[in-house]
Amino acid sequence: MMEGLPVQPETPSTGDEITLKRPAVRPEKTSTGDEITLKRPAVRSVSEALIMGDEALPGEGIQAIPIEEPAAADAGGAQGRRIVRSAGIIMVGQLLSSLMGMVRIEVINILFYGAASGAFIIALRPIQQMSDLLIGGTVSGALIPTFVDYGEPEKRAELRRIYSTVAILALLVMVVAVVALFFLAPWLAPFYLDRGTEAERQLTASFIRVTAFGLFGLALYAVGSALLYALKDVVYPAFATFIQHVGVIVLGVIALFIAAAKLGAPVAAIFAHGAQATSTQVDALQMTGAIGLAVGFVVGALGEAALLLPGLRRNRVSLRPTLRVRHPAVRQILRLYLPIAAGLLISVGQQQAELWLNGQTNDPTRNITALQSATTLIQFPTGLVVAALSFAVLPPLASSASGGDMVGFKRTLALGFRLGLLLMTPAMVGLIAMGTPIAALLFQHGACHTSCTDLNTLALTNYAYQLPFLAIDQMLIAAFYARKNTITPVIVGVAAIGVWALVAVPFTPTIGMPALAFANTALNSSHAIILFVLLTMAIGGLGMRELWGGVWRIALASALMGGLIAGLLRLLPALAPTVFTLDSLRGQLATVLAVGVPAAALYFLAVTLLGMNEVRMLGGIVRARLGGRRG
């Protein structure tokens, strides 16, 4: 249940995001130098490093991190070093968060798979949506640009008052949201679990009520991280996000052991497959212990906000009892947020429809767990590839657009297409062809048996088809932003939701969960295709001859890779069935390594022999930019 990945409002997230978000409307952007800047009534110029990270967490997705432009004489070197350093810090933080997110979904699968895991994941959806609508969508589009306007030393006192006003307003709004969710929970749970059991609905309702209190932490994190990003202090917000995952993992495990002691059913029973306890006892153990997941989310969200305190103190910022709602900065934030909210409302509507459709499937709690698990896997190659593109392609793309160099703009865009396809196509083939051993290695332990692996693999397969289109879509949105057009991707996003509906609405009742996953693939793929056509109509040909020249080489190398994977998956278990078995952790690891390593080697050997030198080009671009900044 991933919604369109390419760009999302940087939102305080529940961390179990099962949607990759379409872009909400943002302030128009212009280009200066080789970075993109937010267009706002500021007297000084601030550039941005555009980077991509774990879309499921606060402030992530495509990040617009302001970097103050130095004096003209130093513009080439100091500015680039700041951008590279800021982007690097945030990427490391997001990588840590992504790794902890993988551990989190593994813990949920292994210890809580079933009614407990599904109830927890579903309960976070209205929390995420409320956070997006009320505060999350303002981070990059409204809070950062406004805070930047007051970031100069002589305006810091005013900035502190603005920060306090916005933070207090956010908390007051969240009070209303928490109360609303508390009373709506008994009605939301049946809406999300039409075919669920009464016990699952009650558990989901209780989780909604508990996790709603996490909105306070998400609100404080959103405002605090926006302020620190505006002040170019990126370390604390970059590394705060992993705390939420830690909270869910640690308190979930602790609560499980407490429940085991209370119920007299050992935690080992989850791994014993009925040898030490009945399935009813295991279900009771999981559903009782799962309250720790909800409490852990609240503690983790508050921990994110708390981890920002050293950075805020270093900048002499603290929360004070100030409420200046008529301040021009507050009015500017509201003005910038209104178009963002319009886009978010459409997005939330699609998410609600998606959850309702999932509730119509057989066993909706297990289906939602499979969709979340597959989403986590899909996000890994997506984040890594877009991070590479951020360093190598986005800055020169913006520079070409600002300088009116259309030839260079098209050349850079075509390079981004080829780089994205070069990396995403084998990722797609690998996840589809090796979906079962990968899902078994990561999740098939404890409460997650072979039926769990089958569902995870089915969701993963139907998601993975979109990976090449995600790479292209990412570059196309960057191209529209570089041309100061932020509206078209949003309008196309609405059209793509229509494509999603054409797949999800008629086929989910009959096909079930796979239709929801494939509908998301149709959404993201159609978004890329429509944007490609519109950009071609706007600026002319995008070098299709060179693009197709790369496509057939990548396709051939990927086909060879897929053939080798299929052959090895049949050959190795026949040669050594006790070694290459998916029934043990050792066998799962041996299978993934013995198949995946030679397959990846074959792919890169093939693209090299076929004359694809984009990987070498990417390394050269990054080295040149880093070296040039140091020089």
Using DSSP bridges, classify how beta strands 35-38 and 29-32 pair: parallel, antiparallel or unpaired. antiparallel
* 109, 448 contact by CB (below 8 A): yes
DSSP 246-259: HHHHHHHHHHHHHH
Confidence of residue 588 (pLDDT cuts 50, 70, 90): very high
| Residues in Cβ contact with 51 at an 8 Å cutoff, skipping those fewer than 6 apart | 62, 63, 65, 87, 90, 91, 387, 390
Per residue in 12-25, pLDDT (tens digit) is 445 444 333 444 43
Q: pLDDT > 90: what percent of the chain?
A: 49
Of 267 and 599, the one with more pLDDT: 599
Task: Calculate ∠ Cα 197-291-236, nearest 5°.
Answer: 130
- In 3-state terms, what secondary structure has residue 36? strand
* Measured distance CA(336)–CA(324) in Å, rounded: 18
Residue 458 has pLDDT above 90, yes or no: yes
- How far is 595 from 148, CA to CA, in rounded Å? 50
DSSP code of 29? Answer: E
CB atoms inside a 10 Å sphere around CB 544 = 11
Of the candidates 499, 244, 168, the residue with the CA atom closest to the CA atom of residue 350 = 499
User: How many CB atoms are located within 10 Å of the residue 210 CB?
Assistant: 20
439: pLDDT confidence band, cut at 50, 70 and 90?
A: very high
Residue 39 pLDDT level (bands cut at 50, 70, 90): very low
Strand partners, 30: 37
What's the token pair of residue 365?
């709690």
Q: For residues 151 and 621, which has the higher predicted lDDT (pLDDT)?
A: 151
Tokens 């994190």 sit at which residue?
A: 221
Angle at 182 between CA 180 and CA 188, to 5 degrees: 85
- Predicted confidence at residue 215, as pLDDT, reads 96
- Provide the β-strand partners of residue 50: 64
Look at residue 273 in the predicted model and tell me its pLDDT.
55
For position 72, what pLDDT does the model report? Answer: 42
Contact between 54 and 101 (Cβ < 8 Å): yes
The structure's pTM equals 0.83
pLDDT band, very low/low/confident/very high, at 594 (cuts 50, 70, 90):
very high
- Confidence at residue 276, expressed as pLDDT on a 0 to 100 scale: 52
**Mean pLDDT, the chain, whole residue set:** 82
**Which candidate, 399, 387, 596, places its Cα nearest to that of 471?**
387
For the chain, what are the domain ranges?
Answer: 29-536
458: its two tokens: 């089915």
pLDDT in tens, 372-405: 999 999 988 887 776 666 656 666 777 777 777 8
Helices of type H across 487-543: 487-511, 513-539
Flag whether pLDDT at 619 surpasses 60.
Answer: no
List Cβ neighbours of 617 (8 Å cut-off, separation of 6 or more): 415, 419
pLDDT category, 44, cuts 50, 70, 90? very low
For residue 42, pLDDT beyond 70: no
Cα distance between residue 374 and residue 456, in whole Å? 6
Query: Distance (Å, rounded) from C-alpha 373 to C-alpha 367?
Result: 10
For position 3, what pLDDT does the model report?
46
In order of 117, 356, 513, the CA distances from 353 in angstroms are 21, 5, 14
Chain-centre distance for alpha carbon 550: 28
